[in-house]
Every structure is written in structure tokens, then in C-alpha cells.
Structure 1
Amino acid sequence: MALVVSAVKREDFKSCAQSGFCTRNRAYADLASETPDWESPFRLDPASLQLEDGILTGDLMHTPTTSSSSAESSGALNDGYTLEIHLLDNDAVRVRMSERDPKRRRYDGLHKTVLVKPLISSSQYDHLARDENGLFTINYGSQRQNSARIRFAPFQIEFLVDGVSTLVLNEGGLLKIEAAQARNDVADTRTRALLERRLEQGMWSERFKDIVDTKPRGPESFGLDITFPEIEDVYGIPEHASSLSLKTTRGPGAQYTEPYRLYNLDVFEYEIDSPMALYGSIPFMLGHSKDKTVGVFWMNAAETWIDIEKIKSTSGSNRKTTRTHWYSEAGVLDLFVFLGPTHRDILKQYSSLVGATALPQSFAIGYHQCRWNYISQKDVTEVDAGFEKHEIPYDVLWLDIEHTDGKRYFTWHPEQFPDPIDMQLHLASKGRKMVTIIDPHIKMDKEYHVSIEATDKSLFVMNSLLSPFDGWCWPGSSQWVDFENPRAKDWWASQFSYDRYIGSTNTLFTWNDMNEPSVFTGPEITLPKDAMHHNRVEHRSIHNIYGAMFHAATAQGLTTRNETLQRPFVLSRAFFAGSQRYGAIWTGDNKASWEHFAVATPMLLTIGLAGLPFSGADVGGFFGDPEPELLTRWYQAGAFYPFFRAHAHLDSKRREPWLFGEPYTSQIRAAIRTRYSLLPLWYTLFQEASTEGVPIIRPMFFEFPSDELTYRMDDQFMVGDALLVKPVTTAGATHSEVYFAGNEKWFDFYDGQVKRGPGVQSVPSPAYKIPVYQRAGTIIPKREKPRRSSKEMENDPFTLVIAVDSNGEASGRLYLDDGESFEYTRGDYILREFKVQGRVLTSRSLNRQESETEWSFIRRFSSLKVERIVFQGLSGPVSRVVIGDRPTAVESGHDVAGGQYVVVVSKANLPIGQDWSVTLL
């Protein structure tokens, strides 16, 4: 939800020119570009270097050269800095810089929230070596394939893979660290004369509209340029309503005039094609070219801006080099470098630090029905009955803020929801769940038990004067829980116990909204930066992780409310690196327009590449009233989002799937049923994401990394490695231009018609379907019997759809567990690998945790059957099928599609939990 219903008001949010530290760092970059023979003023003392147990330390000094002397105030008044380079056991490298003896210590506690475990240093490295050019090099990695090459003066770190330069820190000399200092420490008139005082703008206090940021610690921002040599395309740093391949913000022909901004904000009806900050922030960037891939994680939760520029390659190559300039307002300079060598390797390395996505309960990947607001228990019953009447499956019905008693969270409106437990039990009888909204702002009310307890325990955020902060949000005068305080996290989690959240059951789950946090009376509609948290941590230092801490505390509460632990489901609007450990997110308050529909694809792909795969966009658009065609097309695409939810604003017309009549009801029903038929595939992909850190929906280049035509392609995507999906995002379209990558076959998901790549082809996209194609060489598990919910499908048999490649081979997986508990972590799951080689289909177990104990799920469900098998793309006819040693006739006969044979075995009856083989003769 957002404050009002109107187009985004840009004046409510800062531009770089209105942000002091952004202006100062950009001005520093201007000074560097305008100064001949510019050199970074930072030098590394060679005599100070020590390498021990995988950690290199040294003294970094700010010693202005002639070219940089006009910028002395950027850090000259400090006794020096410490440099740390940590070689980690996952082949990542951590680089840290901070003042040696600071006058005021910077916030440095982010790792406690972001990183999942203490870092382990690597023993796989060679000793420090110095060459004839005065460079020190460390070779590391299992094969010593990676190198960190350190230059002393000017200071620079270059990372190489097999001798090829892949990433460079401070190549452009933009390293700038503002030391905390007393206000009268800076009096350099040359700086003000040269850059019109931009290098000192907003250092001591800053006004935006009528609100003053007091900046009690003075200036403490820092910046660094990060260069991707001969890599033209970089991705990541969500959330922005922009393209997949990030656009330029500096240099000739820059596509944006503003830098990309990371600062979690409530920006309703956000602009399309803009680097404006939105609801979430993940400072992770991936660079990719045909012959190299590299990742960077800038571990900082303060406001951050990032400039992107394309420059000529110094090697003389035709490829451009991407130079990025990162700058944050507070905290320490703490970044990680991942050299892969593949993007899959990089995401696994990254997720080993910040965590992979939590495996959700199985219901969570079904269809969710939501609007602001289903106003009563009677309304809930009627909506549920509508799904029954029209035979449309769904798993979750959602309630927004009006379900509460006066917008007091953890309560129910006594007249409109008189018996919430009975309501939940009614839905549960059909395998369905309910979600209620719970936000971080707490109504100031002397009779509201949550407000009373948090006040008595001093668990609210304070203002700059160390009095309880009072702002305005949905309940009116409100306070915000301080999740930087460990006691607050545990206290918040305890509110979800059944004896405290009266009217809740184990089928009730949670939606965390407004957790940027949104404060209607605050600067930029959020908390003031000088608000104070536990241990006098300024809000500016942890702003971007506040929502993730709230998300984590809620997930903890839903997990621990049961004696037998149950996986939580929590949707969050704000997010940061690590949010994937707690649940799903969505792209925020979008609009019922074709433009917002189209931009959802690159937004979701970007979020997935940044390590948060469980994401979705509000189907139909939150604001406004979608025309029936737009709504239908959005459902068809939304069925292939990892998180599949329809949502609508309070002032929008009702738009349950059957309200537009035919043919739209049937078309929407078909889209939702497609999602349900593919739930076995989706659940298997979620399991892969939870162990490997890979996205669930993937940009084309992820699966075809050598195909340069895919690098900026963001209007179609892959679901796993098997399905190609092309959303139809233009009104009235009956055909779509689809790019078929690779020199292989692609099979129409609906009718088996064959296309062959590589190249773009025009394919039909009639009103009742969008282009979806199965990639040759893959096997997709399905369940094809229509049911009212995913719970009612758990005993249904499976269909395997096999698309063999030109070698007659294919492979795929199926993952199953109880869909609710954490028993899978102990080995109670089924993971099967299916392979076709030499016209033989085999099934074998990949469960690495099998033991002599007969696990509950395996015992109950190992007899589930593979009932039907469809072979596509066979090179010749099949006369019969042998299952094990039992001959079976091919009941469907042979059909030829695109010169390929299709064979269907309709009564295979093969147990899913056992090894077996099927031979085609």
C-alpha cells in the first residue's frame, strides 16, 4: 500500500543534487576527470604488509599528489587507514578499509545480520610476491587460478583469473573516505574555489523540504570506483524499474542523468525506466561477457548511489569496459569479490555468505488471492465460494489492514471478523491458508497491549534527542519497533504465539508491508536518518536493512509458535541481502498498465540475480483498473513468476478471476491451472535455489552465457533450465517475436510443435496462451489432475514430459518432501534424477542423506506413481516399450511433429521412490 493514489511525486524524493554526500562524491569524480594525470591520493605502505592465515593487512595513507591536492579535505586530516584483504575458503575475497584511529567509530555491525556464519579463511594461496614493476601478487584458489595484484602508489587492487584482468578497485582513483571530524577541522578554500563548494556540500547538516538532518557525527561517507575490464554488461543492484543490463549514468551519451540509488523507500506508482530508489536494496552487481564473469557485493546498508560509465578498453579491444562508482553515506568500506568462474559459481559463493533462499512450504508457490481489502468474514466466504464455483485453484486468501481492530496489528475487527478461527478452519478444510498484514509501525494507544509492552521495555526507535520517535502512518500517531535491539527481535517473535495473537492458527501466515520503513511525516516518507537505535546506532547506518530485520523477526515468530517447528511464510516489501532466508518479496505498488506489466520481467530477473529468487509482481497492477486483456495477459505471465499473487488497491474495482466473464474467465483459469500442473517443477527449482543459490526464473544469458545476443534480452526468460517464457506485454498482440537460443529444438509447451534455434521467429500468441517452450534435453515433472489447492494434489500421480536433444538425451529432477516441516534437513525427502540415454529412461535417487531410519515422508509417499510419460523429439519410430522387464504397448501410437516422433506411455505406474528403467524399442 501507499499513502495516496496518484502518480509518483518526484519532489518527495531526493535527487543526487539534494544529497550532500552524493554531490560531494560526484564532484570528486568530476575533479578526477577534469585533472590531467589524476592519481589517487591513497598510498599503501609496503613495509606494513603482513599475510597470515589468509588475511593480508597493511597501512593505507592519504598523501595528496599535485593532481589531487585540491581534494585534501576528503581525508587528509586522518592519521591513516587500515586495509584488510581476506582470502576466503569459498574462493571469494573480502576487502575492508577504515580509519586506523578514528575520532568516532563507524557502524560496523552489519555482518551480524547479513552473513550466515563466521567467515573461514582459505589456506589455498601462494605467498606474497613482488615483481619488477613493484606489484605484489597473491595467487589463490584450489588451482591458484585467481590472483589479487596490489599496487602501492597509487593504491589499486586488480583481480585476475588465469592471468586475465577481471576486476579492478580504484583504477580511476576515486577512493574517497570522509573521516569523522569536528566541524572546524576543514578550511580548505581551494576546494571551494575549484568545485563551487560541492566537495563540502551538506557535510554538517542537510535540509530536505522542512526537515533538517542534524548529522551529529559529521561527514563519514566513502566512495570507490570498481572497474570491469572488457565487460560491457553489468546486472543487479535492485530494486529499480529499469532494464536488466544496467544503463549508463555518466560519460558521453549517458542514458540516465542520475546515479542508481539504493535507499529503501515507499514509492507508489513508481516511474518506468528510472534509476530512482524503490522498496528494496541489494548492493550486489554481476558483470558478464563471453569469456569472463565476476560479482561484487558492497556490504553496506546506508544510502548508496552507483554511477555507471562505459569507457574504451585499455587493451585495444573493441569491447568497452564498464567503470562503476559506488558511494555510501556511512559505515565502513566492506566489499566481497567473486571470480566464479561462471555466474552459477558466483551465486553459489555469494549465497554461502549471505544465505540461499529458504525452502518455503509447498502452498506458498501456489496462487495467492489478495486485495485491499476483503472487508468481512462474509466477504471471505463469498470469494472462496467463487473459486469453487468457477473451478479455479488457489492456495491463500489475504487480508489487508481493514481486518484489524482500529489498525492495531495482532487484532481482528470484532464486527467484521467475529470468528477468525472458524474462518481459517473453513479454508483449511480445503487445503487453503490465510495471510494477514502486520506492519512495523505500532499505534500509540495506552490501551493497546503491543504498544504498552514495547514502551515499557524501551523497544521503540528514538529520535535524535533520545526521546521516543513519534511519526504518522496508517493508525495515525505511531512508533516503530527497534529491530537493531536483540531484545526487540525476540519480543516481536513472541507476539505470534497463539496465546498472544488471539484468533490465529497454524494456517495463518504473515505479510510485512510498509517496512522500508514508511513514515508519512518523515523525510522522503521514511524514518529520519538521525533517529537513534539500540547502542546509539544512527538510522542512516542501517536504513536499508531495517525491513529485512523486521522480516527476520516475523519469520522467527511463525517458526517458533509451534512445538513441532513449521516453515514460515512471510511476504516482505522491503528487502536487503539476506532477505531470501526469511521468505518472499514483491516489487511493490505497481500500476495497472502495459508498461508496468512489461517492466516486471527485468525487475524480477534482476532481483533473482541478486540472490533473492522468491519474488513476484502484483498481477493486474495494484493501482487502477486493468482492462480484461491486460489482466488476462498478466495472469498468463504471472503463472511463471516465482511468487504468484493478484493484488489490488482499495479504490480499484473488484477483479476476482471470474468477474470479467467469458472468454476471460476461462483464459485466466487455464493460466492458473498451468501453474498448478507445474508445481512439481517449481518445488524442485525452489529446492535447487535453496542449496545452490541460483535464481528460479533466469535471464536468457544465464543459460546461454556465450550467446552475446542474450546479454541485454529482458522480455523473455527461462524457468529453470527447461522452459522458455515470453510474456505478451502489448495490447492486441496475436504474434510474438521469440528468440530461440542454441542450435537445438524447442517444443511448444501446449501442443508440442517444434522450433529450432538459434534465431528470432514469429510465433502465434493468441488470447488464450503466451509462448512457452520446452528446451530439448530436459525432463519436466507435472501433475495434471485439476484440484482446488496444492494440498489436495499431494497424492496425485506424476507425468514426465521428456524433450530429447539431437543426441537423443535428456535429464531432469523431481524433489518432494512433506511441504511443511524442517524434516527435509535431516534427510526426509525424495530427490530423483531422470535421464534418457540410448533410448533408455532411468530413475535414481540423489538423496545424499539416506539412512537406515525410515523417514515419515519417504514411508508415506515413496509409492507415489509416475503414471504417464511423454517422449518428444525422438529420431525414429517406437514399436513397444519395456518397463523394467515388462513389455508394454505404446497406446497412443506415433505422431510426428516437426519431423520428430512423439510417444506417450499412459499407464506406466512406476513408483516414484524406487529405481527403475523404461526402454524404447
Structure 2
Amino acid sequence: MPLILEAVGPRVLRLRLGSPGGKDYGILQDLTPHPLKGEAGEGWLRAVFGEGELRLEANPLRLRLFWRGREVLTSSTDGHIRGGLRLPFLARGEGAWSLALALESGEAVYGLGEKFSSLNRRGGLYTSWNEDALGVNTERSYKNVPFLWSPRGWGLFVHTTARTHHGVGYPPWSHRSYVLLAEEEGLDLFFLLGSPAEILKAYADLTGHAPPVPRWSLGVWWSRCYYSTAEEALAVAQRLRVEAFPGDVLLLDGRAWLEVETRCTLDWDPRRYPDPQAFVAALKGLGFRLCLWEYPYVSVHNPLFHELATRGFFLRDREGRPYVYHWDPEPFGQLLTPLPPSGILDFTQEEVVRWWQERHRSLFSIGVDVMKTDFGEQVPEEAVAANGDTGKHLHNAYALLYNRAVYEATPERLVLARSGFAGSHRYPLHWGGDPQADWEGLAASIRGGLSWGMSGGAYYAHDVGGFYGTPEPELYLRWAQAAVFFSHIRFHGTSPREPWYFGEEVARAVRAFLRLRMRLIPYLERTMEESLPLGLPLVRPLPLAFPEDPYAGGFADGEFLLGPDLLVAPVLRPGGEVQVYVPRGRWYDLWEGRAHEGPDLLSFQAAPERIPLLAREGAVIPWGSYASRAEEVALEGFLVVGEGVPSLGKKELGRISSGFHLGELL
């Protein structure tokens, strides 16, 4: 079996062995060849690309990767007492490959998509296989990406849609090795070299850059599971305006606008919505855009099911019959309505994609703005698509096909998606799954968003207040405060999530933070403009922002930066006490103007109306006027951070230094 080496850009090396199964689902976007100089001798091979170098040695087979003359990666050195290696660098079994790479003591590894445990993957076993995780409490997740990286200077992307397993210093396998097990016939690997930011840029160049999103999407999204009638939804929208809570989007979840037994061919429930256009117009009159829920399955009770089955629009079983997916009723308990047996739309067919997009256009024509593309994780391995692939390769790719179809049909090029895979960042935006409404649900939701950002995703939102259960008022407030500093913010849950349900004090504090959110819209837009070409997320975990700081990784699971200049430390437990790590440099407390010199560890006692929020010295932060909708925000001026920093001729609204108080600008 030949080994094929190619350079794709000055810091990316592709290594292929054999031919992976499955079809090409367009994950790779740019494979521009780059010069690769090679030489070989007896038992060795050397290849140089840009400032990178690969060395392969035989007997035993060994890989070494260098970046700018420094060795950043080598094959596993896990040896056996009898001599030789306990783990071979490469091994092939029936329908599977394994790869073993060495990890240094203390070396951190990040990525692999949306995962809800500690951001540092070291010590865990992770599977890249999309699942309805039913929460944020396990390794299972909705958005998996077989891409991981280390601050040591290397990244690895496994180009396959098949199931892969990643033992990242996983002790039952080897605590000193990263071991990949790919359930594939061939192996297609991309090694990416450089700093973490350079690795993310190279990954984005390879798989596509996230596009900008419309300004209104940066505003506040309101939802619950669910508004039972049009009158109830309109009453919430009216009260939000009366009580001066910012709001740009109202979202109708699945049961809110669809009839469950027959969903989903995107037909309004005629009993509750006899005149959908009038409802949409009334909502628009209140200044809200409308988001509707969907999933890509059609109930056997739907009047169109047999017609679609006859036309071959569904995935099929091994005998060629439409595959009917039967939902397991147990996980949902009594919380949600049982789901009907359904066919799974086959988005490998252009005719199906066009039909589905046309169903959407009838919604957009009456004023619907965006769709919440839920689910997408249910393709069974035994299901067969029209293109010949089985679920073995289609299962993960399905999220990409589904969200691409809806994204491309939407006039403003946006979806709110739950499922995702490599390449899905090109079809924003994504939200985290169904978190438990408790403090650990909040912490895990933040980790999931940060993890998605470390895996190539630019945007993320989570369900403020948690999805299942009812949050206590303090938790609800702290969740809202943390969500304000993510790229997108949405309130959602199985019980009401509007602020007035949590008491006057909480409602007042939430209102103040949502006003702060609106003020930050120009900063978010500038961050988006600067970040997307670099492949960076809007929200940055500390190991990504400060890869050379040996202490930053210890605070990765809570703190983060919004853009380059705002350091946020969410309150993740009752009582308001927060430990804040201040990175190197001078940072100013936005509430009091006090300067802190890093590196340092501070203790904050956060009052209900505050969370720790610091700004980097030298920053000039665009500041917006207050408005109830993001589209109405105007640039008011700039906050200048530090004593001796020039305002660059811009309108200076305030200088963040001793005596500054953010509350005065809210």
C-alpha cells in the first residue's frame, strides 16, 4: 500500500494510506498544493515543506515532525519491558486503522468538537460520532470534529466521516500517548504546525472560514419550550417591549407551531395558526424577527409520507424500503411529547434538497427569518442513501448536508443548528444541547461552547437557564450574565425563561446586563470582522489566547476572552465568589477602574449585579448606544483602557482607569 505525502500550504502536511470509504461531502475546501522537497535513503525518508519537516524511519516505523527546527511531534515511544514498542506508530486491522503519537508529561490537548468535560482532553477517551446527548453531562455530544491540537505546536485533522476514537493520554491504553482508532478502510491525515492560532487558521483554510452573520442575530433571542398559542407568544413579545428588555428574535419551538403527530413538512398547525401571515405581521409590528423550529424527519402519519416514499426521498433499509426511524420513548420520560415513527430525508439527493428548500421558501415569503435546525444525529448505521453510502459514513456527514440545505435557502444565510461536524462552521450558527438547569449544567454549557471554538467554530449560544428543570433565581441570573459575553445569546427551557418569572431584583439585573450586551454590539462586530479571516472564535479560552502562559490552562474551564480585549470570569457556583486568573500584562476592572498586573490570582466577591469583567490595557473598545434591538444600535464612541493610552482621535466616552464605573454607562 503506497504512502502518499502532500503539502497543503506552508504548515500543513497530508499523509494518506489506502482509500477511505464513503463519499466526498465537501469538507475540504482548499487543497492548493505547496512545494514539498523530499529525499530518501535506505530505511528513511525526509520531506520539507515551508518551515516544517517530516522524517520517517523504518524498523520500527517512526515519525518525527519539526517546525522551525524544533521537534513538535513524534510517534509513540511507549515501550515494553521485553523490548520494542508496546504501541506501534501505525497498525491496520479489518476495516480499521490505529495511529499512536507520543505526548510529553503535562502536555495539554484541545479540540474534538463540542465536548462538555474539561477542555484539556488529556486523560480521556473520546468518540467522534454525533449523538443526541440528552444533556451536557457525558462525553456524548451533538457536534463532533476529529480535529485536535496541542500548544506544543501540532494539530491533527482526521479526514473521514466514519466513527473515530481518540485516546488522549487515556491510561487504559497509554497515559503517555495519543492513540487514534479510525473505523476506516484507509487513512487520510492532515498534520498542522505552528502556534494554536496558526493551527486554527490553517484548519480554516483547509475546511473553510466561517462567514459573517447579520447584526440582528447578535441581539437577544427569546424562546421557551414552548409557547402553546399564537396569543401566548405575542403576549410575551409585548411584555418584553413594555418592560424594556432588549429582544431581536422570538423563537417558536417544535410544538409551538407544528402538529407533533404529523411533523415535519413545515406546515403550520391550522388549529392554532389559521392565519400564519397575520401572526408573523403582528410579531414584526413589535419589532421581532421570527425563528421556527424544524427537524429533517417526516412522520408516517403525515399526508405527504407515502408520496415522498414513492419518490425515493427517504433513506432506505437493506431491502430498499423507506427506513422508518422509531424513537426510543424512554430518554424523554414524561417531559416531552412522544415522537412519531418517521422517514429520514435523504439529503444526498439534489432533488430532495431542492424540495426541502422550496418548503422553506414558502415560510420566508411570509416573513419568517431563520430556522432552528434541531436534531440531525439519528441516521442509523444500517440505513442506505441514494449515493450508496450507509450510515457508517453518512451519520456524521448528515449534519453538514442538513444544515447546508437550510442555510443556503435562507435569505440572510443563517441557521440555529444543534448538530454539526467538520465543516459545519461554514453554516452558522450553533447552540449547545439540552443542559440541566443547575450550576453544573451552566459550567458544562460554557465548556461546550469554548470547546466548539477551539475546534474551528466561530459562534455559539447555550440555553440560558438550562433546558430541563427550573433554575433557581440566582442561577438564572448568573447564566444570563455569562451568556451576554458569548457570540450569541438565547433564553430557552422547558419552563418559562422570561426574567419576570424570577423576581424583581433578578429581572432588574438581567435587564442591565442585556443593555450591556446591546452596548457591545459594535465590539462584537469588530471582533467578528477581525476573527473570521484568522479562523478564530469570537470567544477565546485562555489556552488559545495565551498559549505560552503555563498557568492559563489551569483556568481554561471557566474564564474566557470575548474578542481580544475583554476578560470574563462567569460566576459558576452559588454565593458569588470567583477566583480570577489575570494573564500577563495590565488589566483594568471595568466596574471600578482598578488596575491589576498579571500574572496574578484574584478573589472576587461578585454582587448580584456584577461578574468579574476586565479589559486589556491599550484597548480601544467601540461602544454602542442603547437600543431595544441590535439593528438600532449606533456607534456612540469608544472606551479607552489605561492611563496613558491615546484615544486615536476617536470620540472618547470614558477612560477605564482609576475611578471608572461601568454602571454609569449602562
Q: Give the TM-score taking structure 1 as reference length.
A: 0.66
| Partner residue in 1 for 2:162 | 302
Q: CA deviation at 1:530?
A: 1.6
What do you get for the CA RMSD once the two structures are aligned?
Answer: 2.4
SS at 2:148's partner residue? strand
Within a 5 Å distance, the mapping from 1:796-835 to structure 2 comes to 796-804=634-642, 808-809=644-645
**Structure 1 residue 504: Cα displacement:** 4.8
1:535 — aligned with what? Answer: 387
Q: How does 1:764-913 map to 2 (within 5 A)?
A: 764-785=605-626, 787-793=627-633, 796-804=634-642, 808-809=644-645, 836=646, 841-842=648-649, 866=651, 868-873=652-657, 896-897=658-659
Matched, 1:483 2:347: yes
Q: CA deviation at 1:534?
A: 2.0
Match of 1:155 among 61, 64, 76: 61
1:233 is paired with a residue whose SS is coil
Partners of 2:451 and 2:102 in 1: how far apart? 20
Give how far 1:424 is off: 2.1
Contact 1:300–1:332 under 8 Å retained in 2: no
Question: Aligned match of 1:496 in 360, 369, 373?
Answer: 360
Q: CA contact under 8 A between 1:156 and 1:168: conserved in structure 2?
A: yes
1:555 to 397, 404, 407: 407
Report if aligned partners of 1:747, 1:776 keep a CA contact under 8 Å in 2: yes
Residue 269 of structure 1 corresponds to which residue in structure 2? 135
* Corresponding residue of 1:748: 589
Q: 1:176 aligns with which of 91, 105, 109?
A: 91
Matched with 1:588 is 433
Equivalence for 2:600: 759
Counterpart contact for 1:509–1:569, Cα < 8 Å: yes
Query: For residue 728 of structure 1, what is the aligned residue in structure 2?
Result: 571
Structure 1 contact 90–349 (Cα < 8 Å) conserved: no
Asked if 1:418 corresponds to 2:327, the answer is no
How far residue 797 of structure 1 moved from its aligned partner, in angstroms, is 3.6
Which residue identity does 1:554 align to in structure 2? V
CA shift digits 1:536-566 (9 cap, x unpaired): 21111221121121011111111xxxxxxx3
Distance 2:266 2:225 in 1: 17
Residue of 109, 114, 139 corresponding to 2:23: 109
- What's the CA shift string for 1:345-370, capped at 9, x where partnerless? 11111001111222111111111111
Mapped partners of 2:264, 2:40: distance in 1: 63
Answer yes or no: is 1:247 the counterpart of 2:160: no
Total equivalences in the alignment: 638
Partner of 2:16: 96
Larger Rg: 1 or 2? 1
Q: What's the counterpart of residue 386 of structure 1?
A: 239
**1:495 touches 1:557 (CA, 8 Å); kept in 2?**
no
8 Å contact kept, 2:22–2:161: no
> Aligned pair 1:435/2:291, yes or no?
yes
2:332 maps to what in 1? none
SS in 2 for 1:659: helix
One-letter amino acid of the structure 2 residue matched with residue 534 of structure 1 = A
1:323: which partner in 2?
177
Once the two structures are TM-superposed, the CA of residue 261 in structure 1 deviates from its matched residue by 1.7
Alignment pair present for 1:619 and 2:464? yes
Amino acid at match of 2:648: L
Partner of 2:331: none
Contact kept in structure 2, 1:330 and 1:540, CA below 8 Å: no
The residue correspondences of 1:354-365 to structure 2 (distance < 5 A) are 354-365=207-218
Residue pair 2:582, 2:599 contacting (<8 A) in 1 also = yes
1:227–1:321 CA contact under 8 A, matched in 2 = no
Aligned-partner residue type, residue 101 of structure 2:
I
Residue of 111, 135, 142 corresponding to 2:44: 135
2: distance between equivalents of 1:98 and 1:686? 40
Please name the residue that 1:522 is paired with. Answer: none
- Once the two structures are TM-superposed, the CA of residue 586 in structure 1 deviates from its matched residue by 1.6
What CA distance in whole angstroms lies between the structure 2 residues aligned with 1:750 and 1:384? 32
Contact 1:330–1:541 (8 Å) recurs in 2:
no
- In 1: Cα distance, 2:356 partner to 2:622 partner: 40
| AA matched with 2:316 | M
Deviation at 1:336, TM superposition (A): 0.8
- 1:638-787 mapped onto 2 (5 Å cutoff): 638-649=483-494, 652=495, 654-713=496-555, 714-733=557-576, 735-742=577-584, 744-785=585-626, 787=627
Deviation at 1:701, TM superposition (A): 2.4
C-alpha separation in 2, matches of 1:227 and 1:549: 35
CA displacement at 1:407 relative to structure 2: 2.6
Q: Does 1:598 align with 2:457?
A: no
Assess, with a 3 A threshold, how the Cα gap between structure 1 residues 326 and 657 changes in structure 2: closer, same or farther: same
How far, CA to CA, are the matches of 1:453 and 1:732 in structure 2? 58
Query: 1:156-182: per-residue Cα shift (whole Å, max 9, x none)?
Result: 332111332212346641522234xxx
Structure of higher RCO (CA pairs closer than 8 Å, 6+ residues apart): 2
Question: Tell me, what secondary structure is at the counterpart of 1:87?
Answer: strand
Q: Deviations over 1:828-882 (max 9, x none)?
A: xxxxxxxx4xxx6157xxxxxxxxxxxxxxxxxxxxxx5x432334xxxxxxxxx
Letter of the aligned partner of 1:872 in structure 2?
Answer: I
1:279 aligns with 2:142: yes
Residue in structure 2 matched with residue 343 of structure 1 by the alignment = 196
Q: CA deviation at 1:244?
A: 1.1
Letter in 2 for 1:285: L
Whole-angstrom distance in 1 between the partners of 2:73 and 2:367? 49
**Structure 1: gaps of 5 or more residues:** 1-80, 100-105, 180-219, 250-258, 312-319, 518-526, 559-565, 810-835, 844-865, 874-895, 907-921
Deviation at 1:721, TM superposition (A): 1.2
Contact kept in structure 2, 1:92 and 1:336, CA below 8 Å: yes
Question: Which residue number corresponds to residue 11 of structure 1?
Answer: none
Given residue 496 of structure 1, which amino acid in structure 2 is its aligned partner? H
The amino acid of 1:391's aligned partner reads A
1:669-718 residue CA offsets vs partner (Å, 9 max, x unmatched): 11211111101111222223322110111111222222100123221111
Alpha-carbon distance in 2 for matches of 1:581, 1:506: 24
For 2:229 and 2:661, the matched residues in 1 are separated by: 52
Partner SS state of residue 499, structure 2: coil
Q: How many angstroms apart in 2 are the aligned matches of 1:586 and 1:261? A: 20
**Seq. identity, %:** 26
Q: Which amino acid aligns with 2:127?
A: R
* C-alpha distance in structure 1 between counterparts of 2:468 and 2:229, whole Å: 22
Q: What is the CA-CA distance between 1:445 and the residue it aligns to?
A: 4.0
Kindly indicate whether the alpha-carbon contact (under 8 Å) linking 2:292 and 2:368 is maintained by their aligned counterparts in 1: no
The answer to whether the 8 A contact 2:113-2:454 is kept is no
How far residue 634 of structure 1 moved from its aligned partner, in angstroms, is: 0.5
Report the 3-state secondary structure (helix = DSSP H, G, I; strand = E; otherwise coil) of the residue aligned with 2:471: coil
8 Å contact 2:109–2:168 — kept in the other structure?
Answer: no
**Cα distance in 1 for residues equivalent to 2:427 and 2:502:** 36
The aligned amino acid for 1:454 is L
Structure 2: gaps spanning 5 or more residues: 78-86, 328-337
| Greater mean alpha carbon deviation, residues 422-431 or residues 711-720 | 422-431
- Structure 1: distance between partners of 2:353 and 2:656: 53
SS at match of 1:869: strand
Q: Deviations over 1:549-601 (max 9, x none)?
A: 1011111111xxxxxxx322211111101111111112201110111111222
